[in-house]
Amino acid sequence: MSAVEDFHQSLEQLKKVERFRSLNAFRADGIYLITDSNVRLCNFGSNDYLGFASHRAKLERQGAGSSALVAGWTDTHRELTEALAAFEQTDSACLFPSGYAACSGVVSTLARDADVIFSDSLNHASLIDGCRLSNAVCFVYPHRDVVALRSMLSKHRARFRRAWIVTDAVFSMDGHLAPLVDLCDVGDEFDAGLIVDEAHATGVLGERGAGLTELLGVKDRVSVVIGTLSKAIGSHGGFAASNETTINYLINHCRSLIYSTALPPSSVVAAAQSLETIQKSSQERERVKSLAKTLRSQLGLVAEGLESSVPIVPVLIGTDKESLSVSRHLSRSGLFVPAIRPPTVPEGTARLRISLTALHTDKMLQELVSLLSDRVSELGA
Ligand SMILES: *Cc1c(COP(=O)(O)O)cnc(C)c1O
């Protein structure tokens, strides 16, 4: 039985015992809720104890006050999930309080007892926590090493019911791209589902900005795409996109979705607006790409093919102390470039992490390059 058939069966079981939950959209009007079918209900399901969220809701249409399954779900939430599903070319999508909650929740919920997870060694902490929270056995494969992953799968896969491969699309501290096509191939070969976190790729990569899965043409081969509304989308919150059964399974079982307050409508509205804009922002995407290429070539950094245009550019320094010192040096000259130290990155690989945006000018880039080149050559790095 496939994972989806399995989820479907488990949901059917819930329906039999009246425990299946689905999200109902409400509109808030002070202490009242207006349902989808325009029924006005006095709200005894809110955690807005002092009425602050309701007051604000009147002023700014914001304030959720409840978890999505209780009364925190509105038409705007539903519309955003529909827009996200269309964007990701899936049937369905759901929202989370943050990208962290989406990653940790999706992995820990979908990978169950008797399952096995294969996780890239440089995955984001939120995916790692998802592995730790799940009841599945987890193996960490060397960063982007599909050959190693393949041999781990052939050694261990048979002992487990279902297998999941979990990866960042763009690795947040290195700007590397996951080899998604190869991961899909190896996933097919060993009947393993692929879960991809597009946090740094959404809005940036792909023709419509729909991420690395779009750029590499593998949207229909991936089991679940996870993303954040807080990076290129510029709002707050997280999402997952997949087939309808898997999304319903998350709505019914995923603890970080069920037991946390729903996103406030203000974040949802902001995200929905950005999502529309993002799909038309190819000019900004081209601009960021060209800045990234220029910066890499001027700093003498080697990156292959598609990777040369990723707007995360790490400059490896080595020791924590020296990274901090270069970062301070830059900030004295008016440039903020954060130093990233362990445990965020492996021991001995402290670095500066430069993130580029379409708002950076050529002049800003030149200044960064010249300050950095001086300083880094001084350190002999
Ligand atoms: C930022 C990030 C997240 C978490 O997203 P938030 O919305 O900030 O919680 C998850 N995964 C990756 C790869 C990230 O970089």
Q: Is the CB of 100 under 6 A from ligand 1?
A: yes
107 and 39 in a single domain? The answer is no
* CA angle centred on 112, ends 107 and 117, rounded to 5°: 55
Which of these three, 233, 257, 280, is where a domain ends? 280
Q: What is the CATH number of the domain that holds 171?
A: 3.40.640.10
The 10s digit of each residue's pLDDT in 89-120 is 999 999 999 999 999 999 999 999 999 999 99
Instruction: Please indicate, yes or no, whether residues 271 and 326 belong to a single structural domain of this protein.
Output: no
Q: Which residues form the domain of 349?
A: 22-49+311-379
Q: How far is CA 228 from CA 60, 102, 107, 153, 379, in A?
A: 23, 8, 15, 29, 37
Question: What digits encode the pLDDT tens for the residues 271-304?
Answer: 999 999 999 999 999 999 999 999 999 999 988 8
Atom of ligand 1 nearest to the CA of 168: 13
Among residues 241, 261, 280, the one where a domain terminates is 280
Q: What is the pLDDT of the chain when averaged over all its residues? A: 91
Question: What pLDDT, on a 0 to 100 scale, did the predictor assign at position 381?
Answer: 47
> Is ligand 1 within 6 A of the CB of residue 239?
no
Q: Is the pLDDT of residue 351 over 80?
A: yes
Write the CATH number for 39.
3.90.1150.10
Separation of CA 101 and ligand 1 centre (Å): 9
- Would you say the CB of residue 228 lies under 6 angstroms from ligand 1? yes
CA of 102 to the centre of ligand 1 (A): 9
Q: What is the pLDDT of residues 11-45, one digit of tens each?
A: 999 999 888 888 888 877 887 888 888 888 887 77
Domain co-membership, 29 together with 102:
no
Clarify whether residues 100 and 191 are in a common domain: yes
Does ligand 1 have an atom closer than 6 angstroms to the CB of 167?
A: no
| Contact call for residues 143 and 180 (beta carbons, < 8 A) | no
| 58 inside domain | no
Active site residues: 172, 200, 231
Greater pLDDT, 2 or 168: 168
Do 321 and 268 share a domain, yes or no?
no
User: Among 278, 276, 290, 282, which residue's Cα sits nearest to residue 232?
Assistant: 278
| Domain match, 214 and 242 both | yes
Order of strands across the sheet that contains 339-340: 312-318, 350-355, 339-340
| Same domain, residue pair 148 and 43 | no
Please report the pLDDT score of residue 89 as a whole number: 98
Are 341 and 275 in a shared domain? Answer: no
Domain boundary among 259, 280, 301: 280
Asked whether residue 61 is assigned to any structural domain, the reply reads no
Where residue 52 falls among pLDDT bands split at 50, 70, 90? low
Q: Does pLDDT of 58 surpass 80?
A: no
367 within a domain of the structure (yes/no):
yes
Domains contained in the chain, number:
2
Asked if 76 and 182 sit in the same domain, the reply is: yes
Does residue 304 fall inside a structural domain? Answer: no
Ligand 1 atom at shortest distance from the alpha carbon of 230: 7
Tens of pLDDT, residues 236-272: 999 999 999 999 999 999 999 999 988 988 899 999 9
Distance 231 CA to ligand 1 centre (A): 8
Q: Is residue 286 part of a domain?
A: no
* pLDDT 10s digits, 179-208: 999 999 999 999 999 999 999 999 999 999
What pTM was estimated for this model as a whole?
Answer: 0.91
* 289 Cβ inside 6 Å of ligand 1: no
